[in-house]
Each structure stands twice: as C-alpha cells, then as structure tokens.
Amino acid sequence: MRSKLKDYAEPVERLESGARVIEVIEALVRSGSYAAVIEGRPPVYLTVENLAAALLKCKGLSTLLFSPPPPSPQRLVSGDENVARVLTTVKEKYVFVTEGGEVSGVLTPRAAFRAVSAAARLSDVGRELTESAVAVLWPHTTVKGALRRMLRAKSAFAVVQRGGRVRGVVGIHALLAPLTDPEVLSKIDAGHDDYYFYASVVNIPCNNRSVVPRSQLTRGRLVEVLSEHGNLVVTHQGYMDRFFDDFRVAAYARRLARRMLRR
C-alpha cells in the first residue's frame, strides 16, 4: 500500500490569531470538523474533544468561552508519509497532517479506517473490531453527564436509549451546539452555567444513520458505516447488541494497517 497520509486527511477549521473558545466551537459545530488550527506563533492545534474536556474542567463557562483556548499537545506527521505505516506507529486518535511545514488536515478515526478498509472483514466484528466501553445515555441524562461519559470512554459518540431500545447516536458536536445559541449564551453570560450543563439530552438531536440491525450487517454495510460515521451500533429487535465507537474504530484501523503491511 503506497497511499499517502495527505490522501485521507479531513479538513481542519482555520481561525485567526486570538480566536476565542466560543469562536472555535462555532466553527467546528458549523462545519462538523473534528479539529481546528488557530494561527499564531506558535499556532494552536485543537480537537473537538479538547474543547469538551476544557468545558468540564472550567470553573466558569463565560470566562472560558470568551478566552483564547489553552494549547493542547498534538501529533503532527508529514502528509507524504505512508498512511498504513503511520497507523502502525502512531497511537494518537487524531493525527494532524502537515504539508510544507503547515497543518493542512487531520486524520480522524473514520478517515484512518477508510485508508485501510480494503482489509476489513465481516468476521472481524467482535474480534479485531472490539466493543466499546459503552457510553449509554438516557433521556434524563444531562449534557454534562453525557460529555463526562463520552470523554471517559475516549469517544466522540454515545448511544441514546429510551425504554431500553436504541433511539440513536449523539455526537459531541450536537452536545456543543447549544453553546452557539444566543439564548444559551445570554444565560451563561449571566452566570447560569447550569442552563447548559444540566439541560437534558432529550432535546439534543441524535441520528440513527450508524445504527444497523444485526440481520442487515454485511461487509459492505460495515465498511460504508464506519467510513462515513466512524461508529457503529448493531441492534437486535431494536435493542443494542454491540457498539463500536470512534476510539475502537481507530484501534481497528491500526490492526488493519498491520494486516495490509504483512501482505
């Protein structure tokens, strides 16, 4: 396999020097991107999960949101490197891809899987592709509780259940999206952080595009769903059978890369 890392990198959001946390969140929520670069000397590199972690640690949302984000260490790799070899040597979930000395994109778990998906087999499910330490949310779960569970699982996704059945999957972007609402921001600015943190996830949009009934799971469907969404929920009669989040997909991609290099 001779594909280069840059061939699979996804776009990053670029913001001007001095950009505040709220502006980074707005850019990532709007675009659905997983990473951002704030110009400067040195530039600041952030993932959407870095921002979520900062929210949970802060002592005042308003202060955090309207301040520049703290730098977060990231793995930077040249885009000309062989993608399979990078996957076998780099353990980080996100890899910032550089070209000409500047970050041009980011390798996400779903992009990493796309790069090596030719080696995927349906028989890998439950073996090479292992189940997640499931972050399960119920309608009464708070936004703060949801973020905490997802970050504990090192995942950008969680399964939402109602009455024991799978309602869908909520992503980290959807949990950050309320912070772009002027009404929510006005409450936070007035010191009412609980208006955001303790809102119920029942009103947070979730989707079922990565939910597949067990009887419909084929190799083609496996590759399609993981390549597009970076997570997979397998159900049986509406109940969750298995869940594979993006953290597990990243680990699976590394295993597939080793398989491809052995050929």
- pLDDT of 263 above 80: no
CA pair distance 208, 218, nearest whole angstrom: 17
Please, which residues bridge with residue 47 across strands?
A: 35
List, for residues 182-215, the tens digit of each pLDDT value: 999 999 999 999 999 999 999 999 999 999 999 9
Structure tokens at 103: 């970050």
Tell me what the pLDDT averaged over the chain comes to: 96
Q: Which of 115, 119, 89, 90 is nearest to 9 (CA)?
A: 115
pLDDT for 133: 81
Q: What's the pLDDT band for 98 if we cut at 50, 70, 90?
A: very high
Domains of the chain: 5-118 (3.10.580.10), 122-262 (3.10.580.10)
Strand arrangement of the beta sheet that strand 211-213 belongs to: 136-137, 157-162, 165-171, 239-244, 232-236, 211-213
Which residue is listed with tokens 């776009």?
11
Q: What is the mean pLDDT of residues 224-252?
A: 97
Whole-number pLDDT of residue 187: 97
Please state the pTM of the whole predicted model.
Answer: 0.95
Average pLDDT over residues 171-177: 98
In which band, very low, low, confident or very high, does the pLDDT at 2 lie, cut at 50, 70 and 90?
low
% pLDDT > 70, the chain: 99
Q: What is the pLDDT of residues 58-96, one digit of tens each?
A: 999 999 999 999 889 999 999 999 999 999 999 999 999
- Residue 42: asked if its preceding bond is cis (omega within 30°), the reply is yes
> Can you tell me the distance from the alpha carbon of 67 to that of 84, in angstroms, rounded to the nearest whole number?
38
Q: Would you say residue 262 has pLDDT above 90?
A: no
Q: Which helix (H) or strand (E) holds 65?
A: helix 61-65
In angstroms, rounded to a whole number, what is the distance separating the alpha carbons of residues 175 and 168?
14
What's the distance, Cα to Cα, between the start and end of the chain in Å? 9
Give me the pLDDT at residue 70, please.
Answer: 87
pLDDT > 70? residue 1: no
The percentage of the chain sitting over the pLDDT mark of 90, rounded to a whole number, equals 95
Q: Residue 60 carries which side chain, given as an amino acid letter?
A: G
Question: pLDDT confidence of 134, banded at 50, 70, 90?
Answer: confident
